Amino acid sequence: MMLKHVGWMAALLLGVACSARADEAHFTASEVTVNGHRHAYQVFVPHGWSADRAWPVVLFLHGSGERGSDNEAQLNAGLPPWLKAHGADFPAVVVVPQAPDDTVWSGEVERAAMAALEQSIKTWHGDRSRLYLTGLSMGGYGAWQLAVDHPGMFAAAVVICGGVQSLDDMPELKVYGAPAGAGAFDWVAQRVQPMPVWIFHGAADDQVPTEESRAMDKALLKVGDPVRYTEYPGVGHGSWLRAYDEPELWPWMFSQRVNVLR
């Protein structure tokens, strides 16, 4: 009898411990199928998540160095490491898709990211009035692309060291549909406004020209978009390390909403 009682108590305590761990902030793997192809992604589930309420959802797009098919590399730079260090009280679900090798955030890869977002909204009780978009480097280009292709969907975007025009060493990286030349910035601005945007870039970036972000800032100001621009003097390509740690960033982002027809 005593042994049975001890076993029952141990099982109860184990269940309580497992429940406590499940309540903590964590990443969980998932996948979607687009055009018959499997696309894996990760979801950051915030501490205290419950189906009893609707949650803000952030879609994060990684850079070129995190591409692959392991569903792990996209957690190595940008927002995911920041969440691992500081996300105990982060108040939102975060969707982190992974682009396959030698792709950018357009075409099927863009559709897979949007499918992962849609699936996560349904699974994790996302609030469609509080959907947010962010990306860095290649993912910054992707953030502009998704904002152009899905106007009115995102309540705000944070674009870090991204751009619009193609790079000499990566001609496939650009916002598709935009005209060539300086007119590309006005074309993008007209399609993403009136969505609030906060742009970050390092002044010493030697991979994506800082002028890409400066030109987007000017184009958005021209159309009356509520844009914010932060440029870090002396900082190179890794400006996301400072950007995601800005104390005003998350309060600003989560204060934005879109009107959703019910």
* Burial of 224 (C-beta count, 10 Å sphere; 0-12/13-18/19+): exposed
For residues 36 and 25, give the distance between their C-alpha atoms in angstroms, rounded to a whole number: 32
Q: CA nearest 54: which of 3, 129, 109, 110?
A: 129
H/E stretch holding 221 reads: helix 210-222
Phi-psi region of 102 (alpha: psi -120 to 50; beta: other; left: phi over 0): left
Residue 7 has pLDDT above 70, yes or no: no
Task: Give the contacts of 171 (CB within 8 A, at least 6 positions apart).
Answer: none
pLDDT at 148: 98
Confidence of residue 182 (pLDDT cuts 50, 70, 90): confident
Task: Give the contacts of 107 (CB within 8 A, at least 6 positions apart).
Answer: none
Q: How many other C-beta atoms lie within 10 A of the C-beta of residue 72? A: 15
pLDDT at 129: 98
Whole-structure pTM value: 0.91
Task: Give the contacts of 59 (CB within 8 A, at least 6 positions apart).
Answer: 94, 95, 97, 113, 116, 117, 131, 132, 133, 134, 146, 154
Confidence of residue 234 (pLDDT cuts 50, 70, 90): very high
Q: What is the mean pLDDT of residues 76-96?
A: 97
Please tell me the least confidently modeled range out of 4-8, 132-136, 163-167, 223-227: 4-8
Instruction: Using only the alpha carbons of the chain, give its radius of gyration.
Output: 20
Phi-psi region of 181 (alpha: psi -120 to 50; beta: other; left: phi over 0): left
| 230 phi/psi in degrees, rounded to 5 | -125, 120
CB 198 within 8 A of CB 227: yes
182 versus 152: the higher-pLDDT residue is 152
pLDDT at 6: 41
pLDDT at 23: 80
Confidence of residue 18 (pLDDT cuts 50, 70, 90): very low
Average pLDDT, the chain: 92
Q: What is the mean pLDDT of residues 106-131?
A: 98
